[in-house]
Each structure stands twice: as structure tokens, then as C-alpha cells.
Amino acid sequence: MTGSHFSLAQLFADGLPAPAPRWTGFAKYNFIGGHNAPERIPSEGLAAAAGAALRREGASLALYHANGPQGLLALREVVASKLGARGIKADADEVLITSGSGQGIDLVNRLFLNRGDSIIIEEFTYAGALTKLARLGVKAIGAPLDSEGLEIEPLARILANLKREGVTPKFIYTIPTIQNPTGSILPRQRREALLALSREYGVLLFEDECYADLTFEEGAPSALYALDKSRVVHIGSFSKTLSPALRLGYIVAEWEVLSRLIALKRETDSGTGAIDQMAAAEYLGRNFDAHVKGLTGALRDKLATMEEAVAREFGSAVEMWRPKGGIFLWLKFPDGFDVRRLQGPAEKRGIVFNPGPEWAAAGEAAKSYMRLCFAYPSEEEIREGVAALAEVSFAETGIPQLSANIGRAGRSL
Amino acid sequence: MTGSHFSLAQLFADGLPAPAPRWTGFAKYNFIGGHNAPERIPSEGLAAAAGAALRREGASLALYHANGPQGLLALREVVASKLGARGIKADADEVLITSGSGQGIDLVNRLFLNRGDSIIIEEFTYAGALTKLARLGVKAIGAPLDSEGLEIEPLARILANLKREGVTPKFIYTIPTIQNPTGSILPRQRREALLALSREYGVLLFEDECYADLTFEEGAPSALYALDKSRVVHIGSFSKTLSPALRLGYIVAEWEVLSRLIALKRETDSGTGAIDQMAAAEYLGRNFDAHVKGLTGALRDKLATMEEAVAREFGSAVEMWRPKGGIFLWLKFPDGFDVRRLQGPAEKRGIVFNPGPEWAAAGEAAKSYMRLCFAYPSEEEIREGVAALAEVSFAETGIPQLSANIGRAGRSL
């Protein structure tokens, strides 16, 4: 082989994802992903917190992790404390700080899953969880959701059928408190039923509480982990309550499981970013409740704005799953409608949204669903963006025919 | 299966690492790992930098990554600028920020390696690289080092032999500038020869410059990447120049390669911690040269202290590979000596070190080698710890017989 015509691409491994495109910035009407409300980032509070922590314990940055591989003790204490509101009694030793809850999912997957295994997942769920499972060669079986979350009877039938086929799914991955993308909260009785199924079928419950701190009303039932630690691994995040850019999540589990996850994290990275941890611990240690209360209020206002805009612009053409917290609105277009037809034209108008198939175990079958994040855009951008999306939709599909009870065709003239 | 006697360990996947032990703190004489000099952490500078960046652009934390998936633009500009001193002309678009250079290695491995592939690695090398390769089922073939780094003739023979066997190694993983653990700097002529071998055999050069900013003398030859971008992927880190706790590394590569690495990073995490990036960029953007100069001076003093202590306590019983920079001293005990015999007794005295076999492609065959990190301990701890290690060694093995030219057996009476 000579130097001419040589390309390193000749040496690439198998099964790579497509190359990333050049970065060109964000869309004007940004309804995708898990971005947060920029006006609620406590910049001044974080600046003071980072400064105080660095001045007090900056020399500890000479070590990979001053408090051991589980992460900064002060941040684990914040986690343990806030879990109290979820009914969980845990101390800092039961917590592993992760580089975002995505790493939490990777670690739990690695601990329990072999290629060819099966797991059960909510029919609509976090896209990242689905892509990670697909990469691992794991079969993800969708279980139906209603407006309160996982439906117990169909889930029991799925487990019974799998047992007849000789299949024991390794876990049920569930987002019981502010489900992603539907925003539901699983009632206490269903939580108990879920644990009963876990006992009956020897299956782990993998509980993702990424959004659980962002409920609009108080009184959500206790976390599954609070009800039975021996059958549940619990993960959560500060991405939603503080900032997605900080990459701070956590896993809570009993030591038999946690000691394995710590060992697996050490194979993955050499710890989670220290100043991120210090700033978050110093700030949230004093301000968690007040900060989350302010953020949740702002999110609730933005949701109201988006629900109004969707109702005004799309009328009866879409159904909304009204979320009980969080940052997403899950929409259902008429059966047969494919939201992906809108993506290209919408992007030309500066509008981006998440198409249903990426958020669904059945993929293609969810083509009439759409997820809109209402946290990042301003209320004005929400109104303008939803209106523009309805215009795009009408132009492409003839739906919605009505806008604010006025014929759209007429309005377009 | 009933609820009784149920353990989640029944559900664990295959091939797990051993569980982590409970964290019990650091050894008194801490000569392991890549820890840094605590007295050189610029706590005040980082506090001011984090505060300024957060007050100016805190709202950007509402996004996963305000400047796209390659990482904070200001930090990529710091990287591009400092690479000038390594002879590399690159702009910020050629840089991907990684969560430590360990993630850089993981991403490059994932891009190029299939299970069963072969690569060439320096006979003594970074332990993390070896364990990552073993996990991937990749064969790592050791190439000999001398006091200037990779020896070209033996490397050429290895490549020729592999070619005869029909094996094309995917890459040569090399740490040419401040080799880990030997501390050597590869001369310019050998760099050219390495590139010629890359051209002749169609093999990528994977250049790890983790320690290259910490040379004790100026005038190290340009990086391999500076000599031929089309055949080299370059990684580096701020772990050594600033802090290992910040988890900030980088990859520099042409777009054909970088666009793939960006896509692979997105499968791994959702970005690198933002406040870590902001604080580092803000501080190092103004202070990189001055900070590194101060740090390197301190390291040089600590190395001198350690070399004196080793010479005094071990005399002719050990050979030192005198490093030209960095944070490690690589020691050779007499053939047949197994440094692992000292680990248990040393730990009881509060002394920890890295045994050679973990830092060697041939593993077991390097049992008479030891790596000592001199960056973290104080000069007093270095003197005390090395003296205590010699005592342990003599008690366990009868070596060294002399200490400061006095019979050790006599001194012990």
C-alpha cells in the first residue's frame, strides 16, 4: 500500500453510526430534546457556589476523585436528601454519581444485559433507552400505557406469555413519575401491582425518575425504590432540575448492585466532572426546593401557553396527553398521519420537533405521534412556532383544516 | 420464583469486573495513578474563571451543548492555540472535547477496532489502554522501547512479520512525547521513520500526548499529527496540566475521522460537563503558559527529590528511567524480583505504587518494574515514603542491601 489514495476510512470498524454533520446552530423554534428554561438557570447562584467551593477545596482537584469513585460526597448528600421527598430513605453510600442519567442507563444495561436478552419497556419511552438497547442486541418488548402510565393487566399477560415461551425478561424499564413522553404519574396501586409482578416473575424493575422532581402538583406516590429496594434500581438526574449541560445524574441501589456499577463506571470514565459536581452540590444543597419550585412554576406557564397554542392552531386534529409535570407535550395526530412528512418543511421554517417513532417501542407504528419540548422556547416562540407548524402541516397534509375555528384554507388566501 | 431468597445477582450479565470495595480513603504515601500537585491547583484562578463565565453565559446551560457536540468553542480554541507549541496548525473545528482522554481512547478504539483485530503498542504503556484493548478482544503486540522511545528497527520487523502472516494491525498506539511510564521523548528522526512505516504498511498512528505539555526542557520535536494529519489521530488532556478531576480531554483529527468520533461520542454521553469546560477555558485561555511553567517547575523539583530518595534508599539495586517531563518515575528492580510481593506489606505501611505488569504489554514479564507518581505527595512524603518502601523491600526480599552506602541489615539493628 502506498501513501497515495490512502484514507483512514479504509480502517474503520464495522457497525458505525453515520458521521455527524457539521454543526450549524439551533433552530429558531426549538421543540426537541431535553433542554431547559434558560431564564431559570441560576447563573448568579451557580457562580457564587462554584467560587465558594473552589476557594474552599480547590486543592482536592489534584485527585481524580477526592471522595472516592462514587462521586463528590456533598452531591451524594444532596441526592439522598432530595430522595426523601420521593419516599426513599437512603444515605450517601447508596448513591453513585453518574455523568448524566444516560450513563446510568448504560451502566445498568451493562450490569444486567447479555446480547439476545429481552426486556420490557413502556410502549412510548425515552428514545435514548431504545437506541441503547438496540445497540446491545436486546429485544425491547413494548407494554401499553394509558393516561396513568403502565397498564397492569396487559403487562401481566406479556409476562405470562413470555414465561410460556421460556423467556424471563431481565427487567422492566419504567418511568413511573412524569413519564417520558406522556407526562403521566403511576398511581400507588399500580406501583404495588408492578412490584407483585416483579416478585412473581423474578424480574428487576429499572426505575428512571429523571423528571420526578418536576411535578406540577404535590403528592405523587412514593418511588418504586421506596417500596422495595431489593427489586429496584433507581436512576435520576440533575439535567432537568438544574441544567442538562452539567451532565450530572445518579444511581441508587443496594450495595450488591451498586458495587458492580461502581466497578463498571471505572471502566467507562475516571469519574464525573468535578467542578460541575461542586457547583451543583454547593448551590442545590441550600436551594434545591426553592429553585425547583420556581422552575416548575415557569414550566407550568409554558405548558399552558403550548396547550393553548396547540388547541388554537390544531383544534380537534390532534389529541394532547396532558402532562402532570416535566417539559414535554405528547401529541397524537389522526391515524395514518405521518409526522415525519412535516420534518423537512418544518425545518425550513426553523421548527424542529421529535417524531413519535423515535419515542416508541413499536417505532413505525407511532408515526402519528409527536413530542414537543416546551421548556426552552419563550412563550412567544411557543405561540409563533406552533402556529407556523400548523401552517406547515396544513400545506403538506391538509390537516388541520380549522385554525381558531376558522377554515385554514380561507385564512391562507 | 418467589420473593424469598431472591437476589438481583441472579440476573447479572456475563463478564463483569469484580465488585468495587467500599471506599476507605487514600494511602498516606500515594505514588499511584495520575494525580497532580495539589499546591499547584489554581483554586483562586479557577474560582474567578468559573464565576466570570457563569455570570456571562450561564443561560447557555439550558442547552445540552451551546456550541454543538464538539464541545465548548472557547475550550476548543484553547486546545487549538496550545497545539501550536506542538507544531500543529489546527482550528477549533478540528477538535472534539472528550470527557478525559480515556474517553478519547474509547472513541478511537470504537472507530477502528473489531474484535479479533491486532494493534501495536509500546512495550511499557498506559495501563488503561491495555485494559480497554483486552476488553475489546483486540491483540496488543508490544514493540520495544529504549531511553528515546519506540525503537524503529524492531518495530519494522514486527510489521514485516505480521504482513507475512497476513495481519495488518489497525494502528500503532504511541505516547511519543513524555512516554508513560518511561518519560522519554521520541526524536524527530524516529518520528519521520514511524510515519514512513505507517505509509508502507497502511497503519494508523494513534498519538497520545497526555503529558506532552509537561516537558522539563523546551524544544521537543513536533507532534506526529503536525507531520502528517492524514495518518494520525491525536489525543490529549487537561488532566495533567490542570486537574485530573475535571475530566477534560480532546481528540484532534481530520473531518473524515472526527465526524465519526463525534457521532460515537453522542452514543456514549450527551456532552462533557459544562462548568468544567467553562472554568478551564476561561482560566487557561489567559494563563496556560504561565500555569504550566509553574507546574512544570514544581514537578521537576519533586522528581529531583524522588530521584535522590531512590538513589539514597535503593542504591544500585534499582535502575531509574530518568523522565524528561511528566509525573512518573519508572524503576527497574533486578531480574526475577517481583514488585507485587511488596504490595501488601507496603500498603500496611501506607505506601501504594503501580506494579510493572499493569503497565506492560507483556504483563507478567514486567514484574521487576515499578511506576511511582511524584506529583501528588509533598517532598517530605516522597522522602519518607521511598525510605519506608526500601525498608519494606529489604524486609521482604533482602533488597536493597545498602542504603545511603550503609549496610541495611546493620541499620535495622
Dump pLDDT digits (tens) for B287-318. Answer: 999 999 999 999 999 999 999 999 999 999 99
Distance between CA A295 and CA B238 in Å, rounded?
34
Give, as one character, the DSSP assignment of residue B34: T
B200: pLDDT strictly greater than 90: yes
Q: Domains of chain A, with CATH numbers?
A: 25-41+290-412 (3.90.1150.10), 43-287 (3.40.640.10)
Distance between CA A236 and CA A338 in Å, rounded?
32
Query: B99, B275, B282, B299: which to substitute to probe chain A, counting the most A Cβ within 10 Å?
Result: B275
pLDDT digit string, tens, across residues A50-103: 999 999 999 999 999 999 999 999 999 999 999 999 999 999 999 999 999 999
A413: pLDDT strictly greater than 60: no
Distance between CA B22 and CA A67 in Å, rounded?
12
Distance between CA A13 and CA B170 in Å, rounded?
10
CB contact under 8 A, B243 and A276: no
- For A47, name the nearest residue in chain B, comparing CA atoms only: B51
Contact, A218 vs B247, CB < 8 A? Answer: no
Helix (H) or strand (E) segment spanning residue A4: none
**Which pLDDT score is estimated for A407?**
75
- Catalogue the E-assigned strands of B281-323: 319-321
Alpha helices in B209-273 (DSSP H): 224-227, 255-268
CB contact under 8 A, A35 and B64: yes
Query: B108, B247, B258, B374: which to substitute to probe chain A, counting the most A Cβ within 10 Å?
Result: B247
Q: How many CB atoms lie within 10 A of CB B125?
A: 25
Angle at A225 between CA A219 and CA A229, to 5 degrees: 145
Contact, B360 vs B179, CB < 8 A? Answer: no
Contact, B125 vs B180, CB < 8 A? Answer: yes
pLDDT digit string, tens, across residues A95-120: 999 999 999 999 999 999 999 999 99
Residues of A in contact with B20 (CB under 8 A): 69, 259-260, 262-263, 266
Reported ipTM: 0.96
Q: Which positions ≥6 away from A304 have C-beta within 8 Å?
A: none
- pLDDT above 90 covers a percentage of chain B that reads 95
CB contact under 8 A, A46 and B26: no
Give, as one character, the DSSP assignment of residue A124: B
- For A113, name the nearest residue in chain B, comparing CA atoms only: B13
Contact, A97 vs A150, CB < 8 A? Answer: no
Angle at B193 between CA B189 and CA B198, to 5 degrees: 150
* B182 φ/ψ angles, rounded to the nearest 5 degrees: -85, -20
* B132 φ/ψ angles, rounded to the nearest 5 degrees: -65, -45
pLDDT digit string, tens, across residues B328-350: 999 999 999 999 999 999 999 99
Query: How is residue A235 written as a grid cell?
Result: 436512576
Distance between CA A299 and CA A291 in Å, rounded?
12
**Which pLDDT score is estimated for A15?**
94
Contact, B61 vs B226, CB < 8 A? Answer: no
CB contact under 8 A, B273 and A270: no
Distance between CA B146 and CA B230 in Å, rounded?
27
Partner residue facing A271 (CB), from B67, B247, B270:
B247
Query: What mean pLDDT value characterizes chain A?
Result: 96
The alpha carbon torsion through A63, A66, A69, A74 (nearest 10 deg) reads -150
Q: How many CB atoms lie within 10 A of CB A314?
A: 23
